[in-house]
Amino acid sequence: MIERKNSRVSHALIYLFLTVWALIVLFPFYWMVLTSFKSFTAYNSEYIPKFITLQPTLENYRDAFTTVPLGRYFLNTLIFTVATTGLMMVVIVPAAFAFARLEFKGRNGMFALFLSLMMIPTELVIITNYVTIVNWNMRNTYLGLILPSVTSVFYIYLLKENFEAIPDELYKAAKVDGTSDLKYLLKVMVPISQPTIVTIIILKVIECWNSYVWPRLITYDANYYLVSNGIQEIRENGFGRENTPAMMAAVVVISVPLIILFLIFRKKIMAGVSRGGTKG
């Protein structure tokens, strides 16, 4: 009897603890949505901020798209994300296939070299990459933004492991039938490895959507800003600094796409991150 009571109390405490952290996580989201619906004057007249607003307004969202080129930042980020992710798949799928299925001299040595590159932090190579892109006159271009991030040794590794798990017999049978390597790769291996490929795509999309450092180095023309740089720009120059509600509207607009993506692919994203995520 005592034990049962004890466990009920401890369960209540666990729920309390978990709820407190959930509130800490959710509160900033609530606050940004709430503030984005408050009018400028209402917000500034609240010495003690109100936790609900009775006169929601969409004016801030209009401001976010008209006073600053938020739509432009959005489009840039979309182009950057799609192009980088697409190019990356074109680069890493054949590489993973070569390591997993094809036989050639120096395969193991080459693979070891690739793996050792995983240890190199971006911070170390970004200096020369910056100079390279400047020398190629690619500042303020999409190519300059995209090129340095189209390869990922880690994803080649992940995909190679996946390809290797596909039975060799399939490959041999295809060879007997006279199927070319490329056709086999595209018609058999890629469809079978679809879950891993989707995971890689999602992780890359999240990374691209949130990337800040490289775009900041490479773009100084607001026409090529991504959303992260746009936010920074808005914070420092846009909206006349004090217009917090409009800033929050911009923040909401920028956060929503990935949150929707997350809610749709929740299971896939969480499984993918626990397999191949970093950040933390």
Partner 1 sequence: MKKNNWKAWLYLLPAMVFLGVFMVYPLIDVCIYSLEESYNFASQSYTGVGLYNFRYVLSDPYFVRALQNTFLIVAITVPLSTGLSLLIALGLSSIKPLRNAYQTIYFLPYVTNTLAVGLVFMILFKRTAYTDGLINLLIAKFGAGPVDFIEGPYWAKMFVMCFYTIWVVMPFKILILTSALASVNPDYYKAARVDGATSSRIFWKITLPMISPTVFYLIITGFIGAFKAYSDEVAIFGTNLNAAGMNTIVGYVYDMLYGDSGGYPSYAAAAALILFAIVFTITYINLTFSKNKVQYM
Which 46-65 positions form the footprint of partner 1 (CB under 8 A)? Answer: 46-49
Shortest Cβ 59–partner 1 spacing (Å): 18
Q: Identify the residue among 158, 174, 231, 249 touching partner 1 (CB under 8 A).
A: 231
Residues of this chain, 241-270, that bind partner 1 according to CB under 8 A: 242, 244, 247-248, 250-251, 254-255, 258-259, 261-263, 266, 269-270
- Distance between CA 178 and CA 206 in Å, rounded? 40
Candidate list 114, 161, 179, 222; residue touching partner 1; CB under 8 A = 114
Measured CA to CA, the distance from residue 178 to residue 194 in angstroms comes to 24
> How near is the Cβ of 190 to partner 1 at its closest, in Å?
13
User: Which residues in the 157-196 window bind partner 1 by CB under 8 A?
Assistant: 181
DSSP string, 102-171: ---TTHHHHHHHHHHHTT--HHHHHHHHHHHHHHTT-TTSHHHHHGGGS--HHHHHHHHHHHHTS-HHHH
Cα 20 from Cα 23, distance rounded (Å): 5
Please check whether residue 128 is in contact with residue 246, taking contact to mean a CB–CB distance below 8 angstroms. no
CB atoms within 10 A of CB 245: 26
Give the shortest CB-146-to-partner 1 separation in angstroms.
Answer: 11
Are the beta carbons of 47 and 170 closer than 8 angstroms?
no
Question: Nearest distance from residue 147's CB to partner 1, in Å?
Answer: 7
Q: Does 12 bind partner 1 (CB under 8 A)?
A: no
Contact 38, 245 (CB under 8 A): yes
CA 6 to CA 168: how far, in whole Å? Answer: 56
Q: Which lies closer to partner 1 via its Cβ, residue 150 or residue 190?
A: 150
Answer yes or no whether residue 17 interacts with partner 1 by CB under 8 A. yes
Q: Does 18 bind partner 1 (CB under 8 A)?
A: yes
CB of 182 to partner 1, least distance (A): 9
**159/148 Cα distance (integer angstroms):** 20
Binders of partner 1 among 89-108, rule CB under 8 A?
Answer: 90-92, 94-95, 97-99, 102-105, 107
Using the rule CB under 8 A, which residue among 124, 168, 169, 191 binds partner 1?
124
Distance in Å, CB of 85 to partner 1, minimum: 14
